[in-house]
């Protein structure tokens, strides 16, 4: 709902700057399968400098829900090192997070393992995030955030969800295994502009519709918050991405919209698509595949000049019907707005910007 009405009830809280830092370390926390109560490790509020190090939390399979093993609210400079979360009170169809964070600045995690039925991270209002050398199944920012980086992280079997996140989201040397790298905004109808970067990543899936960015249902319902009224897609930079897909998957999508065939009108912010060295392979045998890579499964109408650069693409397009890099529609007219440009070099597939629809 809008923040400027009587129902929003805004609050301001003050925490003294002289709070001592808190450290939890060298602990194994085993939840019992016989327990009839939910047990949580900690809830931390109003701390500058919170560290968890060498901690393992083990949760057996159960029918529980709404987990929050570690809850962190209104904190700065939060650091995890060698944290293991193996299981949560959650189900594949009902939420429960291993780590819940709200209003956190400067969070980093290193050498972390985190998996649960629903997903390990659920956060709101978190900025300046860095996760390195880790193995997790999900990272979510549900409402507002800025600048998120992942390096040498393996993501498995879920997805990462970002809503009203600004700045840059970057994946460096990451591996995605049956995981959608980015689900963008649709749970909260909050599609803001940001920079999305993939450097030296590997994506593999067993599913027949491989997707890099899931845009959900981008319909005509306007978000009432003034800062969220525009519909934006991120600028995307891809440097060295290897995709392994099953032979039942004919197309890999950069942007995928749930409502097939619906034109996406007046998309803001998106002005740059840069793809350099994309390798598409069948999973298992390493051979080149006659599959296609498409920017979008539906036409996109952008409002800013679009620069699209495709370099060293090795995918071997399958047919004109599903030609690679199809589906970017620029104001219905050739390469308008003025300044739009398509550049290609060493593209081993048909590629074009669609001119009419």
235-267, pLDDT tens digit by residue? 999 999 998 888 788 788 898 888 755 666 678
Arithmetic mean of pLDDT, 28-44: 89
pLDDT digits over 335-357, tens only? 334 445 556 555 444 333 333 33
Task: Report the pLDDT averaged over residues 146-159.
Answer: 97
In whole angstroms, what is the distance from residue 170 CA to residue 253 CA? 19
User: pLDDT exceeding 70 applies to what percent of the chain?
Assistant: 79
Q: CA-to-CA distance for 280 and 286, rounded, in angstroms?
A: 9
The CATH number of whichever domain residue 335 belongs to comes to 2.160.20
* 317 is a domain residue: yes
Whether the pLDDT of residue 323 is over 60: the answer is: no
Q: Which of 329, 327, 323 is nearest to 350 (CA)?
A: 323
Within a domain: residue 325? yes
What span, in angstroms and rounded, lies between the C-alpha atoms of 231 and 255? 14
pLDDT the model gives residue 185: 79
Q: What does the alpha-carbon distance between residue 356 and residue 212 come to, in Å, rounded to a whole number?
A: 25
pLDDT at 4: 55
- The residues, ordered by sequence, that sit 6+ positions from 185 with a Cβ below 8 Å of its Cβ are 162, 163, 164, 191, 192, 215, 216
Sort 345 into a burial class: Cβ within 10 Å, 0-12 / 13-18 / 19+: exposed
Q: Residue 226 belongs to what domain range?
A: 22-347
Give the global pTM. Answer: 0.87
Residue 354 in any domain: the answer is no
Half-sphere exposure of 144 (CA within 13 A, CB side): 9
| 230: in domain | yes
Residue 164 has pLDDT above 50, yes or no: yes
Q: How confident is the model over 102-116, as a mean pLDDT?
A: 97
Question: Domain for residue 329, yes or no?
Answer: yes
Domain count, the chain: 1
Please state the rounded mean pLDDT for residues 142-152.
95
346 burial level (CB within 10 Å; 0-12, 13-18, 19+): exposed
Decide if 10 is inside a domain: no
pLDDT in tens, 270-283: 989 898 888 877 76
* Domain assignment present for 197: yes
How confident is the model over 178-205, as pLDDT tens digits? Answer: 999 999 977 788 889 999 999 999 999 9
Average pLDDT value for the chain: 82
Separation between Cα atoms, residue 218 and residue 196, nearest integer Å = 18
On whether residue 4 sits in a domain, the answer given is no
């Amino acid at each position: 709902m809008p923040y400027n009405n009587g129902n929003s009830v805004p609050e301001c809280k003050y925490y003294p700057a002289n709070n001592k830092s808190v450290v939890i370390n060298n602990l194994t926390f085993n939840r019992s399968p016989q327990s009839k109560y939910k047990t949580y490790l900690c809830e931390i509020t109003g701390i500058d400098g919170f560290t968890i190090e060498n901690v393992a939390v083990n949760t057996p399979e159960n029918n529980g829900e709404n987990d929050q093993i570690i809850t962190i609210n209104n904190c700065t400079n939060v650091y995890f090192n060698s944290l293991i979360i193996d299981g949560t009170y959650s189900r594949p169809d009902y939420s429960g997070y291993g780590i819940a964070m709200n209003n956190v600045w400067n969070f980093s995690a290193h050498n972390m393992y985190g998996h649960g039925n629903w997903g390990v991270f659920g956060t709101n209002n978190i900025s300046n995030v860095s996760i390195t050398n880790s193995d997790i199944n999900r990272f979510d920012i549900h409402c507002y955030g800025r600048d998120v980086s992942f390096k040498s992280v393996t993501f498995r079997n879920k997805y990462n969800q970002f809503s009203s996140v600004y700045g840059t989201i970057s994946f460096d040397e990451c591996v995605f295994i049956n995981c959608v790298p980015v689900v963008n905004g649709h749970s909260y109808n909050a599609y803001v502009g940001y920079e999305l970067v993939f450097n030296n990543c590997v994506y593999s899936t067993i599913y027949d519709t491989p997707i890099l960015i899931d845009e959900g249902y981008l319909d005509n319902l306007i978000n009432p918050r003034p800062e969220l009224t525009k519909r934006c897609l991120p600028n995307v930079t891809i440097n060295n991405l290897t995709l392994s897909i099953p032979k039942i998957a004919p197309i890999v999508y950069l942007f995928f919209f749930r409502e097939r065939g619906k034109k996406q009108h007046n998309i803001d912010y998106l002005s740059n698509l840069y793809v350099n060295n994309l390798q598409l392979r069948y999973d298992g045998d390493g051979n080149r595949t006659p599959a296609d890579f498409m920017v979008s499964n539906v036409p996109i109408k952008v409002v800013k000049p679009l620069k699209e650069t495709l370099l060293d693409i090795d995918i071997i397009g399958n047919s004109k019907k599903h030609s690679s890099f199809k589906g970017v529609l620029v104001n219905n007219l050739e390469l308008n707005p003025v300044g739009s440009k398509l550049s290609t070099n060493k593209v081993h597939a048909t590629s074009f910007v669609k001119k009419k629809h």
